[in-house]
Every structure is written in structure tokens, then in C-alpha cells.
Structure 1
Amino acid sequence: MTIEKDPDPRGLIREAFRMDGIREAECRSIFLDWALGLPMAVDNHAAIRSLIATYQGTVPADHPMLQVLTAALEGEATPRRRGGRRARLV
């Protein structure tokens, strides 16, 4: 399913951009709350791209929330094998 008209219906991300002196840790917490509130059928990456497009150019490029949103699109690191001999034998 594609994103709805408003990727931020509760206004969490919008309010984070309005807060003066907000730090990256607070932005990560707000982002997590926003992400957990998305319906399962919504494409998370499309919603994040929509938010970045909405706010990019209207806020400073070094705003912590913009950095958190951008980092969320980078995805997870490649998983590394963990364990020793036992893990290789299984």
C-alpha cells in the first residue's frame, strides 16, 4: 500500500522540526514513535522519502530530525556472521 495523503497524521515529525534546540537523541525517539504508529500496510521508505521531500529546503540541512530521516533510508548494515566453529557447523 502506498502512503496516505499525510505521512505524518499525528504531526510528530512536524512538531520536531518546530522545536528549538532539539537534539538527535530526542529526534530518534520521536522518529521511533512515528514509525511504530504507521499502519503495517504503509511502505515505510516511501513515507520517509515523502517527509524528507516536504521539509528539505525549508529547514537547515543540519537539523537533527532531517539527519535521522536520512539515516533511516540508509537501511541496516550488512549482517555479519557471528560465532565460532559451532555456528559454522550448524
Structure 2
Amino acid sequence: MDLTKADPKGLIRESYRIEGITAAECRSIFMDWALSLPLDADTRPVVLHLLATYGGDKTHPMTAVLQAALEPAAAKDPSGPKRRGGRAARFADR
């Protein structure tokens, strides 16, 4: 995979060059990176390529952010969150 396609703005590359970068800053950079990808892009192979290229430093916060991006999203109920209102919400234990 071509790095100019995987990291078109060089955001991930530059994040690894910033001394003392925090996890919060890495998450913000990752979000900007993700928004710069095409809507139909499959991000998993791209993130794997970025980890293979830049993720040699296992203690860098961006490595942790990239690894977290590979984890599956929490299972969600397809019907959406359950809302209990009125009496049912006040007396849930009964």
C-alpha cells in the first residue's frame, strides 16, 4: 500500500515525530486523519499498514490509538437504546 494513500496529509507520520505528544492529542490527530479518508474506504487494512510502518515504538500513544481503532466496536442493539419513561423508569426494581 502506498503511504500517500494511507496517510494523505502525513498526520500519522508527524504525530510520531512530536516529542511528548499526549494520548488525547493523538486521538484528535487520528480523528482528523480518519475524516480525510474517502467515505467508502476500508480503514482496517490502512490502519494495519500504518502500524506496520510507524508502530515500532510500542509505548507511543499513537500506536495505542491505532491499535484501538482495530478493535471491534461494542455490540449494539440494532433496535437502539431502550428508554424507559414514566412509571416504569421510577419503579424499575418492582
Same-fold status (TM-score > 0.5): yes
Residues paired across the two proteins, number: 81
Superposition deviation, residue 78 in structure 1 = 1.1
Q: TM-score, normalised by structure 2?
A: 0.76
Task: Note if 1:52 corresponds to 2:51.
Answer: yes
Q: TM-score, normalised by structure 1?
A: 0.79
Name the structure 1 match of 2:11.
12
Superposition deviation, residue 75 in structure 1 = 2.4
Name the structure 2 match of 1:74.
71
Q: Secondary structure at the match of 1:54?
A: helix
For structure 2, the residue ranges without an aligned partner over 5 or more in a row are 86-94
Superposition deviation, residue 72 in structure 1 = 0.6
User: 4+ residue stretches of structure 1 with deviation over 6 A?
Assistant: none
Tell me the distance in 2 between the aligned counterparts of 1:66 and 1:53: 10
Larger relative contact order (Cα-Cα within 8 Å, sequence gap ≥ 6):
1
- Matching residue's letter, 1:73: L
Superposition deviation, residue 83 in structure 1 = 2.6
Name the structure 2 match of 1:88.
none
- Matching residue's letter, 1:65: M
Aligned Cα RMSD in Å?
A: 1.9
